[in-house]
Amino acid sequence: MKFFLDSAIVDEVKFALDIFDIDGITTNPRHVQVSGKPFLTVIQEIGDLVKGTDKTVSVEVNPHLTDFDEIMQEAKKLAALSPNFVVKLQCMEPTLKAIPALAKEGIRVNMTLVFSAAQALFAMRAGAYFVSPFIGWKESNAEEVESFVQEVVQIRDNYAYSTEVLVAAVRNGRQIVNAAVAGADIVTAGLAVYRESLEHPYTQMGIQRFASFWDQTQYE
Please report the DSSP string for 158-208 in residue order: HTT---EEEEEEE-SHHHHHHHHHHT-SEEEE-HHHHHHHH--HHHHHHHH
How far apart, in whole angstroms, are the C-alpha atoms of residue 116 and residue 65? 22
* List 51, 88, 97, 104, catalytic entry: 88
The radius of gyration of the chain's CA atoms, rounded to the nearest angstrom, is 19
State yes or no: is 88 an active-site residue.
yes
Q: Quick one: how far is CA 220 from the chain centroid?
A: 49
Between CA 111 and CA 119 the distance in angstroms is 9
Distances (CA, A) of 7 to 16, 154, 200, 215: 10, 28, 24, 41
Q: What share of the chain is helix, strand, coil (3-state, %, to 5)?
A: 50, 20, 30
Sign of CA dihedral 171, 145, 159, 106: negative
Backbone φ/ψ region at 144: left (φ over 0), alpha (ψ -120 to 50), beta: beta
As annotated, the active-site residues are 88
